[in-house]
Amino acid sequence: MSRVRVNLSERSYDIEIGAGMLARSGEFVASRSRVSHAVCIADANVVSPYAESVEESLRSAGARVARLTIQPGERCKSVAEAERLWNAMLAAGADRKSVVIAVGGGVVGDLAGFVAATYARGLAFVQVPTTLLAQVDSSVGGKVGVNLPGAKNMVGAFWQPLGVLIDTATLATLPDREYRAGLGEVVKYGVILDAEFFAWLESHVAEINRRDAAALEHIITRCCRLKADVVEADERETIGLRAVLNYGHTFCHAIEAVTGYGEYLHGEAVAIGMMCAARLAASLGRIDQSLVVRQRELLAALRLPLETPSVDDDALLAAMQHDKKVEHGRLRFILPTRLGHVELVGDVAPELARAALRS
């Protein structure tokens, strides 16, 4: 078992990572809070067996447990679903001492976290992420929220969990595409923050592709540590440091928007976006071609898509103008200067961004 400590003064918490951790849920929660009443909010796809084993463990630790199930998919990350959960929690007798346990991927984590942050002005909250993306990214850092019909993640809060419990064994049932999409974000951490980790990924492709338990524990532990370092330095995204996590994401968000969300999983679009960003960095003379090649080869070995889809480049450019990082109409990107280091680069000429869309 590995442990990552997230240091945020009185909001500090642990992330525990290993195979078979679900059976330790009761002990994990009880050692951090009095847990007489728990509300388990679970994705319907993981109720059996994962939420069930979490609940059994909580009951053995003496808690009364209610379960609320949400239907899988991004559509559930809505105000309407949050309202349904608030009412269901009231009906289940939740009060200020109840603990919310989120079991599922990033959708459940964001939604249940938002419900926990708002119900009775804030309840203790534990994340039990079951997708690779949630284990390396969304469960760490305290961003919770729901979508509005016209804007993703527009309503939310910073609400740090009491702890995060990661059972790598849950990844055994994750569909292949979802697993690979999570690997897109894993490669991102190597490029932006950790050259040694990137090299480790290159030399462990076979283990990663067969979901080897030791490799998974290493990857998840390293990614959580790297994200925790960023979050510790910029908890509420006020000094801009957290923006390094957006490497590849300006291109990615444009691809997701233009292909109409649903064509690509987020992590797949991240892989394509990182290829665009690497080409852009090379064309600006910030990195040499060998880094573009290394990144491409690692992503290809992990069977992620690399090519920008054949859509209208003008539409992609227009979508990029809507990115959060655009200032006064000038494009800004997070770009590497070497493996393991990125910088925010302002005032990029749109023609260069356009040229970087395709190799």
Ligand X SMILES: NC(=O)c1ccc[n+]([C@@H]2O[C@H](COP(=O)([O-])OP(=O)(O)OC[C@H]3O[C@@H](n4cnc5c(N)ncnc54)[C@H](O)[C@@H]3O)[C@@H](O)[C@H]2O)c1
- Closest approach of ligand X to the CB of residue 224, in Å: 12
Both tokens assigned to 113: 């976290």
Least distance to ligand X, CB of residue 110, Å: 5
Q: How far is the CB of 96 from ligand X (least distance, A)?
A: 24
Q: Which of 118, 130, 168, 295 binds ligand X (CB under 6 A)?
A: 130
Can you tell me the distance from the alpha carbon of 73 to that of 25, in angstroms, rounded to the nearest whole number? 25
Q: What is the DSSP string of 161-230?
A: -SEEEEEGGGGGGS-HHHHHHHHHHHHHHHHHH-HHHHHHHHTTHHHHHTT-HHHHHHHHHHHHHHHHHH
CA distance 316 to 354: 8
Stretch that binds ligand X, among 129-137, 159-167, 254-262, 306-314 (CB under 6 A): 129-137
List 180, 222, 225, 249, catalytic entry: 249
| Of the residues 24, 37, 67, 77, which one makes contact with ligand X according to CB under 6 A | 77
Buried b / exposed e over 84-99, threshold 16 CB at 10 Å, is ebeebbeebebeeebb
Q: Please list, in sequence order, all residues whose beta carbon lies within 8 angstroms of the beta carbon of residue 139, skipping any fewer than 6 positions away.
A: 15, 106, 109, 127, 129, 161, 164, 166
Q: Which of 25, 53, 69, 170 binds ligand X (CB under 6 A)?
A: 170
Note whether 112 and 102 are within 8 A (CB): yes
Strand partners, 6: 13
**Among 24, 37, 67, 143, the one annotated catalytic:** 143
Q: Which stretch binds ligand X (CB under 6 A): 105-113, 158-166, 282-290, 316-324?
A: 105-113
Contacts with ligand X in 12-71 (CB under 6 A)?
A: 43, 45-46
**Contact letters for ligand X, residues 172-201 (x by CB under 6 A):** -xx---x-----------------------
**Tokens read off for 124:** 């203790």
Closer residue to ligand X, CB minimum distance, 108 or 277: 108
Residues of this chain that bind ligand X (CB under 6 A): 43, 45-46, 72, 74, 77, 104-108, 110, 130-131, 133-134, 137-138, 141, 143, 153, 170, 173-174, 178
Catalytic residues: 121, 143, 185, 227, 237, 242, 246, 249, 253, 266
